[in-house]
């Protein structure tokens, strides 16, 4: 009911209270993918992060070429991969001839 009404905070409270973690993670990731498909990236990010799936949010921004948001999440959740991420991103942009 809360999910259909887009009341995510209330849905999260009910889901985490009454469902096992594996089930509510699936629900949240499914909804995040719907948001992502609709171009609602901030909402999708929020759902991915509440499902404890920051890598899915990082990958979403990478696919959308929203690199500032991608790097922000890498800095917060995968700081050990920051240097490699910058390197990989630079190589990718160079191959695309996006030298700026």
Collapsing DSSP to helix, strand or coil, 95 comes out as helix
pLDDT at 29: 93
pLDDT of residue 33: 96
Does the residue 100 lie in any domain?
A: no
Residue/partner pairs of 12-19 with CB below 8 Å, 24 or more apart? 12/50
In a domain, 3, yes or no: no
> Using N-to-C axis directions, what is the helix angle for 54-63 and 21-37, rounded to 10°?
10
Residue 91 lies in a domain: yes
User: To which residue do tokens 């921004």 refer?
Assistant: 61
Rg, C-alpha atoms of the chain = 16
- Structure tokens, 33: 């993918």
- Distance (Å, rounded) from C-alpha 93 to C-alpha 96? 5
2 in any annotated domain: no
Q: Which domain holds residue 60?
A: 8-95
Per-residue pLDDT of the chain (100 residues; tens, 9 = 90+): 777 777 877 877 887 788 787 788 888 899 899 999 999 999 999 989 988 999 999 999 999 999 999 999 999 999 999 999 999 999 999 999 988 8
**Inside any domain, residue 43:** yes
Domain tally, the chain: 1
pLDDT at 7: 80
């Amino acid at each position: 009911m809360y999910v259909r009404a887009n009341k995510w905070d209330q849905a999260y409270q009910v889901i985490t209270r009454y469902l096992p973690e594996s089930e509510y993670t699936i629900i949240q990731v499914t909804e995040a993918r719907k948001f992502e498909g609709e171009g609602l990236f901030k909402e999708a990010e929020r759902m991915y992060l509440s499902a404890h799936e920051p890598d899915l949010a990082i990958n979403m921004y990478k696919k959308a070429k929203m690199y500032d948001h991608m790097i922000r999440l890498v800095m917060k959740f995968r700081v050990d991969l920051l240097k490699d991420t910058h390197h990989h991103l630079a190589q990718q942009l160079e191959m695309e001839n996006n030298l700026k």
